[in-house]
Structure 1
């Protein structure tokens, strides 16, 4: 039997897998803090639910990622402290993020997360890690679809120029 046969959990991680996992964890840590701040700035209940769902998804990812790094003796990236809850009314209007900006930021992060998960899946040689990233990808795709629906329903989506003129045949 070779080093890369048998139970995937007994196989060593390669440096690309380590980097993807560590970077994913560090990114999630930063985004969780940012989203907690966004939560303080939003006045829209539907957007609040999306922020909460996004934070919960990242925390669930982090549990899996931390476990893999710890098992493999790899130090965890630093994490910022939890953000305190603030009242929207206490944040000056000119200093607030507005709801369309928050929703756009979440959408951008989901799109970037889909690309990162696809890249991680493509470089994995451990099937369990590739499957984990496939699961993360599916969850992010579902979040992205919900955000798209929210952006459309609230009128927050700014589409690029639409191609509506078709050449005559």
Structure 2
């Protein structure tokens, strides 16, 4: 293949959708990092803290990869928020504290939304290095979501939608 879109994917230009996708993805990841840090201070359950740490590690990897791609292509990455100051759970007033169940639910929503964003970004990417990067993030987020699902079930935090416990006979028309 020859031309602008031939050769090494890293030498190909980014199209506007890819640029915006990278910028928006890393901006959202930086906001999520701040929230995850706050959740870490609010969490009381040790197992939940481990998963929050996994989310923080994952979002750091995502930020590093996306910011590197933006910079290497001549674009400025969005600014990072400062790290949250350390807080002890006992210092957070009960009425202002997120419960472990609330944190787990928020993380589950974040994982689900992250997978959608990764799928969309991979779908618009024509550079062969971007789609696989997003799908790697997608797989890692799916693994975190599954770990959260197991934790939610184990701790009794899962609030399921209505369950069909009996199979009804189909209605004859």
TM-score normalised by the chain length of structure 1: 0.97
SS of residue in 1 equivalent to 2:80: coil
Kindly provide the CA deviation profile for residues 99-134 of structure 1, in whole angstroms up to 9, marking residues without a partner as x: 000000000000000000000111000010111111
CA drift of 1:165 comes to: 2.2
**Unpaired runs of at least 5, structure 2:** none
**Unpaired runs of at least 5, structure 1:** none
2-side partners of 1:137 and 1:112: how far apart? 10
Partner of 1:165: 166
CA drift of 1:10 comes to: 0.5
The 5 A counterparts of 1:61-76 are 61-76=62-77
Corresponding pairs, count: 169
CA drift of 1:139 comes to: 0.4
Partner of 1:20: 21
CA drift of 1:37 comes to: 0.8
The 5 A counterparts of 1:1-169 are 1-168=2-169
Kindly provide the CA deviation profile for residues 110-162 of structure 1, in whole angstroms up to 9, marking residues without a partner as x: 00000000001110000101111111111011111101001110101000000
Kindly provide the CA deviation profile for residues 47-78 of structure 1, in whole angstroms up to 9, marking residues without a partner as x: 10111110000101111111100011111112
CA drift of 1:33 comes to: 0.8
TM-score normalised by the chain length of structure 2: 0.95
